[in-house]
Structure 1
Amino acid sequence: MRLRRLLWALVALACAGTATACTGGDDRPDVVVTTNILGDVTREIVGDQADVTVLMQPGADPHSFGLSAVQAAGLENADLVVFNGLGLEENVLRHVAAAGEAGVTTLEVGRAVDPLTFRAPADGGPEEEAGQPDPHFWTDPDRMRTAAGLIADAVVEHVDGADEKTVRRNAARYDGQLAALTAWMEKSFDRIPEDGRALVTNHHVFGYLAHRFGFRVIGAVVPSGTTLASPSSSDLRSLTEAVREAGVRTVFADSSQPTRLAEVLRDELGGRVEVVPLFSESLTARGEGADTYLRMMRANTTAMTDGLTGR
């Protein structure tokens, strides 16, 4: 209890100095979102009906970003906490759980959108994670449509003061944009021959996109669903053999992580592989190419299509 009183004292001091250091500083309802991808979607739905506080900064890694003591304490003052879940925000989930235990409504989006599981090693998945849920659902825009609807429902039900008609209208407008995104991605990917739809990435992040649009995941340089893992020599050797067998000429690297490992794979193959960056797990700062979910997905679709068609 002494620690909690100390944390709330820190929150009060922070609020006295800046309006953005804590939640609920202007008596408006506050929705706290862990990742910036879900934060962007939530802002589209909430509009001006509540403050939306996003904890993850642009360009950060969701597997490793953490919270300050003020942010962690402020979670317990939110009207609603929206988080990806399924183990993605590894350093934040305990704080979300603490907020839930304190009575704050929390929405774990990933678990509610029919999550896929990581595949067995023989199919290119990480051995220690085989059968575990894959948290990267946002690479499938149809699942994001489901997620947006769930967020809208949670805001209407749990955020006092939010006008239901406005929230529903915002959600309907955004749902139309997501539907248009799916149609555009399908048309773009139609340029890629079926036998050329093979993906090699830095780590296992595009399983949902592959499942939705008919790609084969050959493997990943980091054989895991988290960027915190490291490949072994045997991992790289196995992946190199699989890449050669599949005739893959493009490796896609996460823009939020160094491309060194992908470049190592390229060196192993004698420089015959191009390394193409994608925006996979974080939005960028404004004006840097992927500052919204819609722009991120369009940028990735263009990069993948061009990379796999040789343009």
Structure 2
Amino acid sequence: MGGGAARTRTFRLSAVSLALAVLGSLTACAEGHDEPSIVVTTNILGDVVHSLVGDHAAVTVLMKPNSDPHSFGISAKEAGAMEDADLIIGNGLGLEEGLSANLDNARSEGVRVLEVGEHIDPLEYTSGGSAGTPDPHFWTDPARMVAAVDVITSALGKEVGDDLAEAIEPSVTSYRGQLDDLDAEIEEIAESIPAEDRKLVTNHHVFGYFAKRFDFEVIGAVLPSGTTLASPSAADLEELARTVKDAGVPTIFADSSQPQKLAEALSDEVDLDVEVTALFSESLTEADGEAGTYIDMQRTNAQAIADGLVPR
């Protein structure tokens, strides 16, 4: 009898434990289901969205550190996450060239896609193979990123819910203030460069917004296009080499996610002491790198540009 009673008690305790485990699992699933799901295409906007929503939503960033936004791809699992998301936040204006089919599929499943660039009064390229088309690189202007934050915040409230919008109000206010401070800091750095020396030659056309905001002139690009997928002709390189020589530009700036061979080849064509400096223009680094956040990236780039252009 004693042994049977012990077995009965053991069975009852096990049954209670099993019921609690199942209940906990169901509760976790319900909580996971209730948590808003946001997918962000680029790691630059991913950092911004993380800064805004914190732990109030699950944020999936598709673009890995040190990637090229024009050509990166995603896994089948990530494609599925896009179709299950409450909201997809993308750069737009043709930047994410490799994701167009995935974005179309998500839209066909009824997922709201916010392409931020369409809402911040985009500039157009003024030269090269992309002339006359919208320039997607608006993040190089911190003031426009303040506008981007407002666009993102509005979409979160409309598409995800008023509760989320209310919960993130303090972080939105804080981050907007950080962007205002960043804008003022970069303006001060830019003013350390004599106006006649504010001339940029880059790997491709990526700093149009930066140039407009801080009174620089983009005099040329190694890749005469707004995308890294373009290729320069020999004539393009020869013309740019003449431009660099005539302007006396001391530094060519190449994107950190791309090999610098083209920029280095151009510098070899110029009968001047021209350096090649890498900028984090289209992708963040890992969190502990020089461009681990959007704000760090902008600050690092501005200082590198000043170091490359201030007369020695």
Partner of 1:151: 152
Amino acid at match of 1:26: G
Partner of 1:260: 261
Q: Tell me, in whole angstroms, the C-alpha distance in 2 between the residues paired with 1:25 and 1:220.
A: 50
* 1:26 maps to 2:27: no
State the shift of 1:300 in Å: 0.2
- For 1:91, what is the secondary structure of its paired residue? helix
- For 2:222, what is the secondary structure of its paired residue? strand
Render the CA deviation track for 1:27-81: whole Å, top value 9, x for unaligned: 2211000000000001111111101100000001000001222211221100000
State the shift of 1:97 in Å: 2.1
Partner of 2:222: 221
Q: Where in structure 2 are the equivalents of 1:110-129 lying within 5 Å?
A: 110-119=117-126, 125-127=127-129, 129=130
Render the CA deviation track for 1:132-186: whole Å, top value 9, x for unaligned: 0001010011111100111111112211484332222211110000000000011
Q: Where in structure 2 are the equivalents of 1:65-214 lying within 5 Å?
A: 65-119=72-126, 125-127=127-129, 129-160=130-161, 162-214=163-215
Could you tell me whether the CA contact under 8 Å between 1:59 and 1:283 is conserved in 2? Answer: yes
Could you tell me whether the CA contact under 8 Å between 2:251 and 2:309 is conserved in 1? Answer: yes
Partner of 1:277: 278
Partner of 2:292: 291
State the superposition RMSD in angstroms.
1.5
Q: Tell me, in whole angstroms, the C-alpha distance in 2 between the residues paired with 1:68 and 1:161.
A: 32
Which blocks of at least 5 consecutive residues in structure 2 are unaligned? Answer: 1-29
Could you tell me whether the CA contact under 8 Å between 1:85 and 1:93 is conserved in 2? Answer: no
Which blocks of at least 5 consecutive residues in structure 1 are unaligned? Answer: 1-23, 120-124
- For 2:136, what is the secondary structure of its paired residue? coil
Amino acid at match of 2:292: D
Q: Tell me, in whole angstroms, the C-alpha distance in 1 between the residues paired with 2:184 and 2:122.
A: 22
| Structure 2 CA distance for partners of 1:309 and 1:25, relative to 1, 3 Å | farther
Q: Tell me, in whole angstroms, the C-alpha distance in 2 between the residues paired with 1:243 and 1:164.
A: 49
- TM (norm. structure 2) is 0.88
Partner of 1:50: 57
- TM (norm. structure 1) is 0.88
Q: Tell me, in whole angstroms, the C-alpha distance in 1 between the residues paired with 2:248 and 2:218.
A: 13
- For 2:88, what is the secondary structure of its paired residue? strand
Number of residue pairs the alignment of both structures matches? 282
Render the CA deviation track for 1:223-269: whole Å, top value 9, x for unaligned: 11111111110000000111111111110011111111111111111
Q: Tell me, in whole angstroms, the C-alpha distance in 2 between the residues paired with 1:304 and 1:281.
A: 15
Could you tell me whether the CA contact under 8 Å between 2:198 and 2:215 is conserved in 1? Answer: yes
Q: Tell me, in whole angstroms, the C-alpha distance in 2 between the residues paired with 1:249 and 1:145.
A: 32
Aligned counterpart in structure 1 of residue 67 of structure 2, from 51, 57, 60: 60
Q: Tell me, in whole angstroms, the C-alpha distance in 2 between the residues paired with 1:196 and 1:240.
A: 17
Q: Tell me, in whole angstroms, the C-alpha distance in 2 between the residues paired with 1:150 and 1:169.
A: 16
State the shift of 1:25 in Å: 9.6
Runs of 4+ in 1 over 4 A off after TM superposition: none
Could you tell me whether the CA contact under 8 Å between 1:250 and 1:274 is conserved in 2? Answer: yes
- For 1:163, what is the secondary structure of its paired residue? helix
Could you tell me whether the CA contact under 8 Å between 1:279 and 1:300 is conserved in 2? Answer: yes
Could you tell me whether the CA contact under 8 Å between 1:83 and 1:109 is conserved in 2? Answer: yes
Q: After superposing the two structures, state which structure 1 stretch, 238-247 or 270-279, moved more.
A: 270-279
Partner of 1:238: 239
Amino acid at match of 1:307: G
Q: Tell me, in whole angstroms, the C-alpha distance in 2 between the residues paired with 1:73 and 1:253.
A: 34
Could you tell me whether the CA contact under 8 Å between 2:37 and 2:86 is conserved in 1? Answer: yes
Could you tell me whether the CA contact under 8 Å between 1:155 and 1:162 is conserved in 2? Answer: no
Highest Rg: 1 or 2?
2
* 1:37 maps to 2:44: yes
Render the CA deviation track for 1:65-103: whole Å, top value 9, x for unaligned: 012222112211000000001110001122112212211
Could you tell me whether the CA contact under 8 Å between 1:50 and 1:162 is conserved in 2? Answer: no
Select the structure that is richer in helix: 2
- For 1:132, what is the secondary structure of its paired residue? coil
| Identity percentage of aligned residues | 53
State the shift of 1:272 in Å: 1.2
Render the CA deviation track for 1:162-211: whole Å, top value 9, x for unaligned: 43322222111100000000000111111100000000000000000001
Amino acid at match of 2:110: G
